[in-house]
Structure 1
Amino acid sequence: MRIRTVAPVAAFVAIAALALTGCVDNSTPSSGGSASSSSDVKKDDSLASQLPEKIKSAGTLTVGMDDTYPPNEFKDDNGNPVGWEVELTNAIAAKLGLKVKFAIAKFDNIIPSVAGGKDDIGMSSFTDTTEREQQVDFVNYYTAGIMWASAKGKTVDPDNACGLKVAVQSTTYEDTDEVPAKSKACTDAGKPAVEVLRYDNQDDATNAVILGKADALSADSPVTLYAISKSEGKLQEAGKAFEVAPYGIPVAKDSKLTPVIQKTIQALIDDGTYGKILDKWGVSDGAVKTVDVNAASKG
């Protein structure tokens, strides 16, 4: 997972179509029903009063994001960030009476930016792990699994992938942990390794499968299902979702902001805003009822 269960994911906003012939086309928008926008969320003065003074006085929440991971966070036709995590971020800020500044960056630069104080929080489908908790704290707001996809008509078993080429987005959990572990199991058994094909963004990893450069892709389950839905029948599920784990919003270690974000998301769950956002994007199977902090270290 994006170190990023899951119902069929519908596309609601366009991202730019890729130029290669036969590639996945994410350019067709869909209306998809209604959900509460950030303008519908009322400020909670009690929560806002608990913000660190620096953020309170600035009136802005700076959020590190890699907007290349549809349907969680991606670009619309105008290059603006969209997706269900973008909507959730906007709702968090609205509840706290803040404006949002999305600091778009490469995925692996976000946690260092949060830890160093450049960004207030990150929102980019981070899987909460004990290793990452050494750098930042995580406010847990969702759970997701891993899912593979292969070209239509090509049978691929994620548990028997020795010798295959598997496309991943660089620095995701699939890249750093999941696929390498499968490869090691292969070589330990005297079988060919799994070849990991790393790409800077998820669209390129997806298109590697469509173009025949890779046998399969591995990504978070909402992302894989979205890619399949936008592939015009060129991709299919390769097995079911597995290794379900919590997503977390990274916040600087021991920051006074952490409990504020935790309470704010809990308030959005309790008032129904959170559920409406997830329902709109078709990802409600990963919903949580209670917001935790550093769930990975709690087992």
Structure 2
Amino acid sequence: MTARITRRSLAAKSRLAAVGAIAVAGSLLVTGCGDQTKDNGSDSSGTAAGSTAPLADKLPQSIRDKGVIKVGSDIAYAPVEFKDDSGKTVGIDPDVANAMGKELGVKFEFQNGTFDTLIGGLASKRYDIAMSAMTDTKERQEGVDSDTGKKVGAGVDFVDYFTAGVSLYTNKGDDQGIKTWDDLCGKTMAVQRNTFSHDLAKDQAKKCVEDGKKTLKIEDFATNPEAETRMRSKGANVVSADFPIAAYSVKNSGGGEYFEIVGDQVEAGPYGIAVAKDNTELRDALQAALQAVIDSGEYKKIVEKWGVEDGAITEAKINGGS
């Protein structure tokens, strides 16, 4: 499956991404996100605490003592992170975390939570990091609300590990003439809330009004599968998600009979592992571990396994989003 990336400039939301073809495999298994009052379906990746690891001494002593890095993640976003038939958390993120864990000598324990609460979970120390296909943006780095432009938190630092564009998809055989984002005026979009796709949708809704057209109606949901269910029931015309997720759903949902991608990808940016601003020692340890995984060739094996080579990076940057 191929898709070009189209340049967009909606309220400075465009990102410089280089994502092309993707071939995703496996069967789609969707599970709902757990609430934030308890651990729900946590899984561990990595090596046992205390094992010999080349970068263990870079971690904060408190993490080394525990032997675990707690990861907040919305585990319903195949193929980035999702549950397999046995209930185990699998995907691109768990595989990258597992490889980093071997470098650091710790386990990465994935804990299920809704996407829009993950950064708050870092602030409350519920999680040590958030790793959940989260786009690294200046707003998130600075703790700024993307709608109001007001400061709402301390912000986070990111260790960037992948790059992805954003796609639109509809019910199969019912594209309703949607080829570009400008074709969304007068339509209803279902989208996972507080994602980059959600930001782009809100920008497009404003643009529709400014252009004298009917607005784009947005219905936001806690998870992407809920947004897809809404579209399947004809309650929405279109869903937007990161291209790897959209491509996976199109290939696997209903045996490939439910959805189709419409139009081109739009420019997005890097996925980042989010870390609290005051946790620079952990941030730098993660950067070193990720770079080691890239340099060893293990990272290349992971992206090839999931068919997402075109989103691969060669350098583990901190706060590379714009």
Unaligned runs of 5+ in 1: 19-36
1:250-272 Cα offsets, whole Å, 9 max, x none, are 01114211111001001001111
Q: Determine if contact 1:125/1:248 at 8 Å carries over to the other structure.
A: yes
> Residue 189 of structure 2 contacts residue 239 of structure 2 at CA under 8 Å; is this kept in 1?
yes
**Cα 1:81/1:45, change in 2 over 3 Å:** closer
2:30/2:82 contact within 8 Å kept: no
Corresponding residue for residue 168 of structure 2: 148
Q: Which runs of 4+ in 1 moved over 4 A?
A: none
Larger displacement relative to structure 2 (45-54 or 256-265):
45-54
Q: Does 1:244 align with 2:268?
A: yes
Distance in structure 2 (CA, Å) of the matches to 1:269 and 1:44: 20
Q: 1:222 matched to which residue of 2?
A: 244
Cα shift readout 1:28-76 (whole Å, capped 9, x = no counterpart) = xxxxxxxxx967xxx7734111110000111111111110111101112
Q: Please tell me the residue identity of whatever aligns with 1:124.
A: S
Q: How does 1:254-293 map to 2 (within 5 A)?
A: 254-255=278-279, 256-293=281-318
Give matches, 1:63-78, under 5 Å: 63-78=71-86
Contact 1:51-1:257 at 8 Å conserved across structures: yes
Distance in 2, Cα, partners of 1:236 & 1:95? 40
Q: What displacement does 1:81 show?
A: 1.4
The residue aligned with 1:100 is: 108
Alignment of 1:34-113 (within 5 A): 45-113=53-121
Q: Secondary structure at the match of 2:189?
A: strand
TM-score norm. by structure 2 comes to: 0.79
Q: Is the 8 A contact 2:115 2:223 kept in 1?
A: no
Cα separation, partners in 2 of 1:228 and 1:273, compared to 1, 3 Å: same
Contact 2:129 2:276 (C-alpha < 8 Å) held by counterparts: yes
How far apart are 1:160 and its partner, in Å?
1.9
Which residue among 17, 21, 27 is the counterpart of 1:7?
Answer: 21
1:126 aligns with 2:149: no
CA distance in 1, matches of 2:190, 2:309: 26
Corresponding position: 1:168 with 2:176: no
| 2:182 counterpart residue number | 159
**Code of the aligned partner of 1:241:** Q
The residue matched to 2:183 in structure 1 has which SS?
A: coil
The one-letter code matched in structure 2 to 1:49 is: D
2:220 equivalent in structure 1:
198
- In structure 2, do the counterparts of structure 1 residues 186 and 259 end up closer, same or farther at CA, with 3 Å as the change threshold? same
RMSD: 2.1
Task: Supply the distance in 2 between the matched residues of 1:188 and 1:122 (Cα, whole angstroms).
Answer: 36
**Secondary structure at the counterpart of residue 166 of structure 1:** strand
> Identity percentage over the alignment?
36
Counterpart Cα distance in 2 of 1:233 and 1:105? 29
CA distance in 2, matches of 1:180, 1:246: 20
Q: Give the distance between the partners of 1:13 and 1:86, measured in 2 at CA.
A: 17
SS in 1 for 2:55: helix
Taking structure 1 as reference, are residues 92 and 216 closer, same or farther at Cα in structure 2, changes over 3 Å only? same
How much has 1:215 moved relative to structure 2?
Answer: 1.1
Aligned match of 1:24: none
1:105-144 deviations in Å (ceiling 9; x for gaps): 1111211222333211111011111111121100011111
- 1:166 counterpart letter in structure 2: M
* 8 Å Cα contact 2:161-2:272 kept in structure 1: yes
Cα deviation for residue 248 of structure 1 reads 0.5
- The TM-score normalised by the length of structure 1 is 0.85
Shift of 1:90: 1.5
Instruction: Work out the CA distance in 2 between the residues paired with 1:44 and 1:11.
Output: 34
Task: Give CA deviations for 1:245-296 in whole Å, capped at 9, x if unaligned.
Answer: 1111001114211111001001001111111111111111111001100112
